[in-house]
Amino acid sequence: MTQSDVRVKICGLRTASDVSAAAEAGAAYVGFVFFPKSARNVSIGEARSMAVSAPAGIAKVALVVDPDDALLDALLDQVPIDMLQLHGDETPSRVAEVRARYGLPVMKAVGIADETDLPALSDYMQVADQILVDAKPPQHADLPGGNGLAFDWRLVAGRRWPVPWMLAGGLDAGNVADAISLTGARQVDVSSGVERAPGDKDTDKITAFCAAAMAP
């Protein structure tokens, strides 16, 4: 498998032009954030508008943080979502519950800071369809992700897991090729690394990131 087979997720999109830019750059996934504390937060109506106009073939992902069923019911009733990304403190049992209730693939984000965080990956891999391996947020941080922080990629270098996984945390066009080379990741996720400012995506940065991640 070559680097050109790497799949890219552009997360935290807020406009239809963001979605178009991601699709034109070759992204496999677009992510919409439903978390009021985030500068990338969108309403259900805004997400619906973006999702229905998204090109065919691109996977639409809803990022939610410790959601209750009422939120998920309202969200999925209105927005054509292909995958749920659980990015809070959801337990393995809650992940399994969400997956069973809604019949959609579930990606669970797991924050990594050091080796003591690695066992959680195995726990969630038993119940999730995919794992997002992200940098663990600083203590008392307002955001569970999207902080522009990287972790020591050597912690996951060369590992083989039973479900697909995606590398996130501090990636940008300048370092994503090295991150892929070191870790063997076949999927990468970016949000702050393709922005002018929090929540303000830059089309040129999206294009450059996808090109660097998928370079032959």
Element of type H or E holding 207? helix 203-213
Token pair 């691109």 is at which residue? 58
* Nearest CA among 29, 36, 110 for reference residue 71: 36
HEC letters along 177-204: HHHHHHHCCCEEEECHHHEEECCEECHH
User: pLDDT at position 140, please?
Assistant: 54
How much is the pTM?
A: 0.92
pLDDT computed for residue 1 by the predictor: 43
Q: Smallest Cα–Cα separation from 143: which of 94, 90, 87?
A: 87
* pLDDT at res. 186: 95
Q: Please list the ranges in the chain whose pLDDT falls under 70.
A: 1-4, 138-149
HSE-CB at 51 with a 13 A cutoff on CA atoms is 24
Task: List helix spans (H) across 41-191.
Answer: 44-53, 69-78, 92-102, 119-125, 176-183
Exposed, middle or buried, 4 (CB in 10 Å: 0-12/13-18/19+)? Answer: exposed
Q: Which tens digit of pLDDT belongs to each residue from 57-93?
A: 999 999 999 999 999 999 999 999 999 999 999 999 9
C-alpha to C-alpha distances, 18 to 157, 168, 194, 202, 204, nearest whole angstrom: 31, 19, 11, 8, 11
Contact 121, 131 (CB under 8 A): yes
The rounded distance, in Å, linking the Cα atoms of 141 and 5 is 34
CATH of 3-213, one of 3.90.25.10, 3.90.730.10, 3.20.20.70, 3.40.470.10: 3.20.20.70
Which tokens belong to 131? 């794992």
Query: Domain-by-domain residue ranges, the chain?
Result: 3-213
Reduce the DSSP state of residue 76 to 3 states and report it.
helix
- Annotated catalytic residues are 11, 134
| In contact, 6 and 214? CB cutoff 8 Å | yes
Distance CA 109, CA 125 (A): 11
